[in-house]
Chains A and B, each alone.
Chain A
């Protein structure tokens, strides 16, 4: 079992894990801003930013799943 690799993976999992709720909060923040916006351009901007945050969240979840699966593999070796 590669202890160094396990430590690295655990650290990366922690980083990604803590980042996900931030993306969710950021998205919620932009969605609220979009709801409050009184011009189409600002509403569009905030909606686009919210969509980007959803993209970040989706990407982070994908990375998290990969990291967890690699950790299971390394631990099993």
Chain B
């Protein structure tokens, strides 16, 4: 039997009640423990229940009383959850690109803000240049960090939009907008930091504002690693 064919035996509307377990297809039609295709209102017929057995209060020996009516013959039977996502998940677990890449923008943006602060205090142009280079680096490295974060959200969390992920996405976009705007301003007006015009203040504000925005992103990432 093909795995997809099992769905036709879901026990609903008088249909037979079948499920797969470790490659075998069991017929439990008529069992008083299955009502309308559901076992204890938790497990549903028409699918593979292999991995649910370890959570059951009974062992697999209970299946000895059930009739085997076929086998699953179109794929490796025990891997009910195996799909292309498992391959990506495995790759992600091996190389974990998001934790690797996210530290670059964090370090560079924080360093840029620190250098800009030193420039505003001491007016040494080296500090301003260091701030600018770090700011450009922070902006460029935000892209791989954001993309790897999206990849992680996709493979590990099925792109489910919860509060944590909403905050991470919103503030990553804000960080990128600030970063790109700051870079453009500084490229267009290389002397922007020297003046006291509104444009100069805007540039400095952008350099400083990416510290709290990125901190919010990181704080929410921490909630995933250490949920409370």
Chain A interface residues toward B at CB < 8 A? 10, 13-15, 17-18, 20-21, 24-25, 28, 48, 51-52, 54-59, 61-62, 64, 68
Contacts and interface: CB of A to CB of B under 8 A. Distances in A.
B54 A52 contact: yes
A28 B158 CA distance: 19
A24 B152 CA distance: 14
Given A18-B224, A25-B93, A52-B54, A58 B164 contact: no
Contacts of B158: 17
Contact of A14 (B54, B55, B163): B163
B52 A10 contact: no
A13 B42 contact: no
A15 B157 CA distance: 11
A55 B227 contact: no
Interface residues of B, number: 19
B201 interface: no
B160 interface: yes
A14 B80 contact: no
B64 interface: no
B81 A62 contact: no
Contacts of A18: 157, 224, 227
B2 interface: no
Given A14-B164, A17-B157, A59 B81 contact: no
Contact of A21 (B80, B156, B160, B163): B156
B177 interface: no
Contact of A58 (B51, B89, B93, B227): B51
